[in-house]
Amino acid sequence: MDLIFWRHAEAHDAAQGEDDLGRPLTSKGERQAKRMAHWLNQALPATVRVLVSPALRAQQTAHALERRAKTCQALAPDGTVDGLLEAARWPESREPVLVVGHQPTLGLACARLLLGPAAGDAAAPLRIKKAGVWWLRVRDHGDGHEVTLIAVRSPELP
């Protein structure tokens, strides 16, 4: 199974009293999302399942991909690693899964999957830049799962 984490692109700061879920992308964030979506569309198989946080900035980031996506409450900014992995059906999913979400949950999930369950949520999250992508692959070797980091992509790369 491939599990791809895509952090939302740059968003406007919340004004006092503004709902965090309603923060839109900045113009820079829109460009970041389009650039990363272009790369992802070249690399992702047609069968990828796209899961997106309900936050506007994540929805707008995923929209740049121009693929069908499912909004998933477990991916909201206050979501947990366990909720994310359950939504993605890790590691049993037959199709690749692209998760569009937030820090620190994405970085905590990467830390747990790459460093092992002992890392847990107590570990420092790995830092995923805004609009950045981390691509993981799991293989079942009978005696356990082996997780490999396939790619890390920044929106600044051409």
Rounded to whole angstroms, the maximal C-alpha distance in the chain is: 52
pLDDT tens series, the chain, 158 aa: 999 999 999 999 988 888 889 999 999 999 999 999 999 999 999 999 999 999 999 999 999 999 999 999 999 999 999 999 999 999 999 999 999 999 999 999 999 999 877 655 556 779 999 999 999 999 887 777 889 999 999 998 86
41 contacts: CB under 8 Å, gap ≥ 6:
65, 66, 67
Residue 73's alpha-carbon distances to 23, 25, 100, in angstroms, are: 16, 19, 12
Superfamily designation of domain 23-153? Phosphoglycerate mutase-like (3.40.50.1240)
Query: Per-domain residue ranges for the chain?
Result: 23-153
Residues in Cβ contact with 17 at an 8 Å cutoff, skipping those fewer than 6 apart: none
